[in-house]
Structure 1
Amino acid sequence: MSEPQPAVERSGLPHRFEAVGEALISGSDVMGACSVAGEELARDGASVEETLAGLRAVWREATGGDPTYDVVAALLTAWSETTLGYLHQLSCEDPLTGLSSQAHLRSRLSEVYRLGGPGVPGGIDDYALVVFAMPFGDDPSDHPGDHFTRAMRLARAGELARTAFARDETVARLGLHRVGILTRRDERLGRRVQVLRTLLGGAETDTAVRVWIEGLPGTDASAGMLLDELARG
């Protein structure tokens, strides 16, 4: 006996568009089927050209004509939203260390600035940026080209930072050897910074880790430049 044929071969329709073809033939919810197909194709990594080509093929197979604007819009909206969601997840986390990315920290800072600038209750005056820098040259394996070793050291230090800042703070990688922590400015901030300094000092055997509170500038644009400068330092 021959092996059963895949559904895509049995139907003759492009992959992920079987439900769209069924909806066209039965007169059911075509827009909903197109939205589901757009989401699935985005998760598969299909390009927008492949997605549109599949829609056109199934439409011509079922109706002999081209899809309408509303159908194309439903498909591409679902495809783009799913793709953007995936890219956003990638940009939120640094893949080597598991810390938040600099892009995510930048986005969180922008959210805080939208709450209010200097002098506005609940705005930027209520937040602080705690920064620490891992020393260079104190680890025999810390060669200039050994990005993996430095990333692992930052990852370990980031876990210690989450011990001292265990609420909803954003702990992010800044460049090759710095970590930035966006946290609320309250009466316990100084103590938590001291705890972090103690934890990091225990993790390093030769050279002390620099820990400090960085003043946040008055505008969102200046905050972006500050992060760039810290990442280069």
Structure 2
Amino acid sequence: MAMFTFTRRRSDPDPDTRAGGLSLDVRESLPLRFEAVGEALVSDGDVSAACHVVGRDVARDGAALGEALSGLRTTFALVHGIDPPFDATQALSVAWSEATLEYLHDLSCEDPLTGLTSLAHVRTRLAEVYRDAELTDMPVRTSHALVVVEVRIQGRALLEEHQFTRALRMVQVAEALRAVFSGGETIGRLGLHRAVGVVRRAPDLGTSVTLLREFISDLDLGDADLRVWIEGLPGTPESATRLLDDLARG
């Protein structure tokens, strides 16, 4: 992960200019990445949700938790002259922890909580598929596809949900995927809410996905929103990598 810094860029518009509800002077004094929190504070927006987003962003930048919390405190002090409340601190800390865990999982082959292979391993499997396609002259878009399962909790319920509860939900999704695709397909995780299978484009793929959707619909997933779909693969391995990253961020 990259080293993190709160260094800011300066620009030359009039300091009285307003941007996103913040004065330009305050906006430029905010720690890097914390503009969304500052804007939520001055616009009566969802501060906890903004802290959640920023917590993930600064973790991906390589910030230690102490640095992230210091940035949050600086933001509240600049905008309102107070220390951040518990809800804001909790939202940022939880998001930072989740993003850091995702990074660590990418370094290993398997998610220790769910048994799903890591995003890095899914990338490796796709690279093998593209190498095989070069040898057989069969385009990957006609030989393989991704089957994506999204089980998402929205809004404040996501912030309040325990990580173990989320992991149990993904364990059930992984078991359903393996029950339907039991031929040695790579079954992995994409971010917090999605799992993916790298599968062959067999004639009965649509039937298999329908069956998978029925299996998962019968699970006890609480108030989660469910989506299951087939994602086509692009023509080049570089495009496939970008596709995976986009799906993982979704």
Unaligned residue ranges in structure 2 (runs of 5+): 1-103
- Find 1:164's aligned residue among 180, 196, 203: 180
Letter in 2 for 1:100: T
Q: Does 1:92 align with 2:105?
A: no
- Find 1:191's aligned residue among 207, 215, 238: 207
1:146 is aligned to 162
Q: Does 1:102 align with 2:119?
A: yes
Which has the larger displacement, 204-213 or 175-184? 204-213
The structure-2 alpha-carbon separation of the partners of 1:138 and 1:161, relative to structure 1 and needing over 3 Å to count, comes to farther
Shift of 1:188: 1.2
Is 1:113–1:124's contact at 8 Å kept on the other side of the alignment? no
Shift of 1:139: 11
User: Scaled by the length of structure 2, what TM-score is found?
Assistant: 0.52
- Give secondary structure in 2 for the equivalent of 1:96: coil
Q: How far apart in 2 are the matches of 1:91 and 1:107?
A: 12
Q: Does 1:113 align with 2:130?
A: yes
Letter in 2 for 1:162: R
Letter in 2 for 1:120: D
Q: How far apart in 1 are the matches of 2:235 and 2:163?
A: 34
Number of aligned residue pairs: 144
Q: How far apart in 2 are the matches of 1:164 and 1:226?
A: 24
The within-5 A match list for 1:47-62 is none
Letter in 1 for 2:231: E
The structure-2 alpha-carbon separation of the partners of 1:122 and 1:225, relative to structure 1 and needing over 3 Å to count, comes to closer
2:22 is aligned to none
User: Scaled by the length of structure 1, what TM-score is found?
Assistant: 0.56
Shift of 1:206: 4.8
Q: How far apart in 1 are the matches of 2:181 and 2:156?
A: 26
Q: How far apart in 1 are the matches of 2:213 and 2:207?
A: 10
Moved over 4 A (4+): 205-208
2:238 is aligned to 221
CA-based RMSD? 2.7
1:173 is aligned to 189
Bigger Rg, which one: 1
The structure-2 alpha-carbon separation of the partners of 1:180 and 1:139, relative to structure 1 and needing over 3 Å to count, comes to farther
- Give secondary structure in 2 for the equivalent of 1:155: helix
Same amino acid, percent of matched pairs: 48
Letter in 2 for 1:154: M
Letter in 2 for 1:186: A
Q: How far apart in 2 are the matches of 1:125 and 1:113?
A: 12
Shift of 1:145: 6.2
